Amino acid sequence: MAPAGAFVDLHCHTSASFDSLASPRAVVAAAARRGLTHLAITDHDTIEGALDARAAAPEGLTVLVGEEIRTRDGDLIAVFLSEAVPPGLSASESIAAVREQGGLVGIPHPFDRFRGSMSKGEAIRNLEALAASVDWVESWNARLLFGDGNARAAELALAAGVPGVAVSDAHTTLEVGVASTILQGDASTPAGLRAALANGPILAIGRASFYVRLVTPVAKVVQRLRGRRRVRPVATRPPMGRPPEDRP
């Protein structure tokens, strides 16, 4: 009998991020309506929203507790976390911290010029080697609107010999699942997701309206007024654990 199919979005934000107003409960409800079976909640430098989303997830939807980690070399995505990885470490240190928890790591939007991408600064020199050390590369990020960044990301995944995935990078409920990855197998565990990715993902690509992205600047202002800002980067590697938020 063929393994069951999984419909997975590996990059999604909630109001635990400094740039989103979408509550965890609303995000998981949207994911369930759109037929996703697995949703990674990857808020910026925190797992609080992911834990809330997991608690609120309806039957049939598995929430993967994740984080978008701001490293000194660019952003990383991690899933299957039990503790947040603090921002400000190097990419290699961040990957090691994720592996210590038994988690998986991906590279988000590696060629997006407007976000914290691995193709900026010194990281570009070692990008292919770094990509070879992770579990996937975002070959399609639905929030990358201009240029050839997605095509270059797909080429990077191929050159590094790692799977490419499609993600929504949703910051609003309207974007959840607009792009996703179809897998054969059980994506509910680290070993299962790794095996399913190795079997050959199918990318379901799409984009939300450009106007949806205009919500993000508003969300940043609202969150700032609420006292929720980006988590303060660390200067040196601290003991594992959730760092304090950068509050006024």
Q: Is residue 187 part of a domain?
A: yes
Kind of pairing between the strands at 62-71 and 38-41: parallel
pLDDT at position 214 is: 87
Residue 154 sits in a domain whose CATH number is 3.20.20.140
Q: pLDDT band for 5, please (50, 70, 90 cuts).
A: confident
Backbone angles phi, psi at 22, to 5 degrees: -80, 120
- Give whole-number Cα distances, 223 to 21, 103, 201, 217, 246, in Å: 8, 29, 36, 10, 12
Partners of 104 in beta bridges = 79
For the purposes of burial, counting CB atoms within 10 Å of the CB of 15, is it exposed (0-12), middle (13-18) or buried (19 or more)? buried
Average pLDDT (50-63) is 98
The answer to whether residue 232 sits within a structural domain is: no
User: 148: domain range?
Assistant: 5-226
User: 81-140 pLDDT, tens per residue?
Assistant: 999 999 999 999 999 999 999 999 999 999 988 766 665 555 566 898 999 999 999 999
Does residue 236 fall inside a structural domain?
A: no
Q: Average pLDDT over the chain, rounded to whole?
A: 90
- Tell whether 117 is covered by a domain: yes
Assess if residue 84 is contained within a domain: yes
**Looking at the domain assignment, is residue 134 inside a domain?**
yes
What is the Cα gyration radius of the chain? Answer: 16
Q: Quick check: is 136 in a domain?
A: yes
Helix (H), strand (E) at residue 68: strand 62-71
Our count of domains for the chain comes to 1
Quote the pLDDT of residue 121: 55
Per-residue pLDDT tens digits for 204-237: 999 988 888 889 999 999 999 988 888 878 664 4
